[in-house]
Amino acid sequence: MSGAAPTPAGASRVQRLALLAGLLLVVWLGLNLFASILLPFVAAAGIAYFLDPLAGRLTGWGLPRGLAALLLVIGLITTTLLFALLLYPLIVSQLGILIARLPAYAHDLQLWATAQVSRLQAELGPGYVNARLRDLVGSQAGAMLSFLAGAVSRVIGGGFALFNVLSLLIVTPIIAFYLLRDWPGILTRLDSWLPRRYAEVLRAQAREVDRILSAWLRGQALCSLILGLFYAGALTAVGLDLGLIVGFMSGVISFIPYVGTISGAVSSIALAFAQFPNWHGVALVGSVFVAGNLLESYVIYPRFLGDRVELPAAWVIFALFAGGAAFGFVGVLLAVPVAATLGVLIRFWLRRYLASPLYLDPPPPARSLPPR
């Protein structure tokens, strides 16, 4: 009678597929059920991932991991607060200018829309454009900006929104500290849970995802910061009243390819038309965005991103909009990691397919017809 332990039976394909489907279902249900409270945790995980290389370098210099994590989180908070305190007076003053001028902008937009409809009426005749339509277009154009003015006031003065922001600012650094401190242990634990049969393949794909994701996140963060500072400084220098806010937001939104530049340019040029009495100011504002686009395309992007990022712009835009539509702002934060992971998996399976008999099997030989 042998005392050897019985050998466990191999997992079937159905079991492996069932495990994968179960994991995907749990993730999907978790996002749907807890999306409203996941924002601090997702933001903290992004901060921990972003700061992990610096924490590893400090640990290599002899600092305990906990102390390194604490110093990095405190440094991030301090930098953010200093940046906010320096810009706070300018931002508040420009927000005041924006709220004060919105009624005037609404009136100007109403006059412009009415004039355009009157011009169309003169060219096409009253049969196509009547006076009632002209009055409707003018009133709706003014109502749009009036609604925006009310929305801005509600967002700024909303107590619940302020509470959410404060809770995010307080909870996120605490969670980021614990995640950053325990990051190597978390990765080790996840690695120990990998199925032994596919462990090496999964590690290789995870390293590829990490390479692409780290290049995109850290490079895009630097690009957005540089562009935000450039647009804010340049628009303020040319005299645009709201140049600081519009310019900095254009840089921040530039993590969505083309959207930041286009939206910033449209907003700035529209404000320039309302502010400057001649074309000279409008041309200066337009030249700022031309220079910013050249700087982004030929200096910033090749220097900080280049060919290391295998995320096409269309894929990033689709992922951001799909994540936002499915899970709100949490979905936007998770969009790029999910897009990078899917891109790596698709390329992996495409390589497997191109090396498989399904692709390599030659077509059957053509049967020759018998002679007549």
In the numeric block, the tokens 């390589």 are attached to 351
What lies within 8 Å, CB to CB, of 220 at 6+ separation is 255, 304, 305
| pLDDT for 15 | 78
Report if residue 69 sits inside a domain. no
**φ/ψ of residue 232, rounded to 5:** -65, -45
| pLDDT for 52 | 92
Report if residue 141 sits inside a domain. no
| pLDDT for 368 | 62
Report if residue 258 sits inside a domain. yes
| pLDDT for 171 | 86
Report if residue 309 sits inside a domain. yes
What lies within 8 Å, CB to CB, of 264 at 6+ separation is 231, 246, 247, 249, 250, 251, 253, 289
Quote the Cα angle for 111-116-117, to 5°: 100
Q: How far apart are CA 141 and CA 167, in angstroms?
A: 37
Domain holding 325, by residue range, is 202-353
Report if residue 124 sits inside a domain. no
**φ/ψ of residue 213, rounded to 5:** -70, -45
> Along the chain (372 residues), what's the average pLDDT of each consecutive run of 10 residues?
52 76 86 81 89 92 93 92 76 69 66 67 58 52 53 47 64 92 92 86 89 81 87 88 83 78 85 79 88 83 66 79 81 83 87 84 70 63
Report if residue 111 sits inside a domain. no
| pLDDT for 158 | 44
Read off the tokens for 168.
């995010």
Read off the tokens for 181.
């401190």
Report if residue 317 sits inside a domain. yes
Read off the tokens for 62.
């002899």
Report if residue 359 sits inside a domain. no
What DSSP string runs through 53-117?
A: HHHHHHHHTT--HHHHHHHHHHHHHHHHHHHHHHHHHHHHHHHHHHHHHHHHHHHHHHHHHHHHH
Q: How far apart are CA 29 and CA 339, in angstroms?
A: 19
In the numeric block, the tokens 């019985």 are attached to 6
Our count of domains for the chain comes to 1
